[in-house]
Amino acid sequence: MIVNRRIVDDFLLGKDISGEWIFSQIEEGKYLFCLSDIQTKQEDVKGIADRIAQMTAQFEPCNAAYYRSLFPEFEKGLDDYEVMLTVGVPAPYDAMVREHDGRERIVFDMGRFLAYPNPEEFARLMLTHETTHALLHQRWNPKQATNYREQLRFVCFDEGFAHLLACGKELSSFDASSWIKEHEKPALEQLRLALACEDDSKQKEWLMRADAGAYWDKFAAIAGKLYLINHLDSLKEIYEAGPNHFLPHIFDTSERKESWHFL
């Protein structure tokens, strides 16, 4: 991966960074920039930037065995993936993915990272999550999901893998029964409601909600993640089968019901 820390280094040299493109692309139509809480913390910023840059350069993903089984040549696939270190991004935007000049990159704000007791581990989780998306998209193009059903299914697939690998637990030894008991049924109920929706405007809302809001409210991501955690022994086969075969007990069943409706 490519570590781009120019904004941080310019800040440490006392240069004006207020005109950088990132501050106009945090929220659509807004300019967001604030250095008030780090003006006297240059040494802290430099220290954390050095540590995050080193961790990124030597990136070892969370749940490495599963990650490597899915992406055996991930170093090659991420060779030109950019991780941009910044300061000046206001709370709560600590980590995000933004596109600029036709390229997607992950953005970490060092000022925000100062609040974390273990910023390297937080960054490792975020890198695992976002690089899972980047690598998955090299194999399975999101643009191939052209209708509502396919788009919803792709979100389940895409976000399911990303949330699984970056779940903060070691999957090989973690007992996920409490997660499944508490969150699987509500997520699947929301997913079924989303699939039953036929109104175009409401379908757009469902797609937005599929991976937005509080963590366990991201129903498509959670449905995908918990399905995968129930099928860890088949993770590679599920990935290779692709999004059009994901969650068959939900998508294929509802599709048959729709066809019956029109008979």
The residues spanned by each domain of the chain are 2-139, 145-261
Pairing of strands 82-86, 95-100: unpaired
Whether 91 contacts 32, CB under 8 Å: no
Tokens encoding 117: 């007791």
pLDDT value of position 259: 40
CA–CA dist 205, 9 (Å, integer): 41
CA–CA dist 187, 79 (Å, integer): 35
Q: Which residues contact 173 (CB under 8 A, 6 or more apart)?
A: none
| Terminal CA-CA length for the chain | 53
CA–CA dist 221, 218 (Å, integer): 6
pLDDT value of position 78: 94
Tokens encoding 53: 């840059």
Strands (E), the chain: 2-4, 82-86, 95-100, 103-109
pLDDT value of position 150: 96
Whether 130 contacts 106, CB under 8 Å: yes
What is the pTM assigned to this prediction? 0.86
CA–CA dist 252, 150 (Å, integer): 11
In this structure, the number of other CB atoms found within 10 A of the CB of residue 147 comes to: 9
User: Could you give the residue ranges of the DSSP H alpha helices within 60-108?
Assistant: 64-70, 74-77
Helix (H) or strand (E) holding 11: helix 6-12
CA–CA dist 209, 190 (Å, integer): 10
Kindly list the averaged pLDDT for each block of 10 residues, start to end, along the chain of length 263. Answer: 96 97 94 94 95 92 97 94 96 90 92 91 93 94 92 97 97 96 97 95 94 93 98 97 95 58 38
User: Could you give the residue ranges of the DSSP H alpha helices within 15-114?
Assistant: 42-57, 64-70, 74-77, 110-113
165: exposed, middle or buried (Cβ count in 10 Å: 0-12, 13-18, 19+): buried
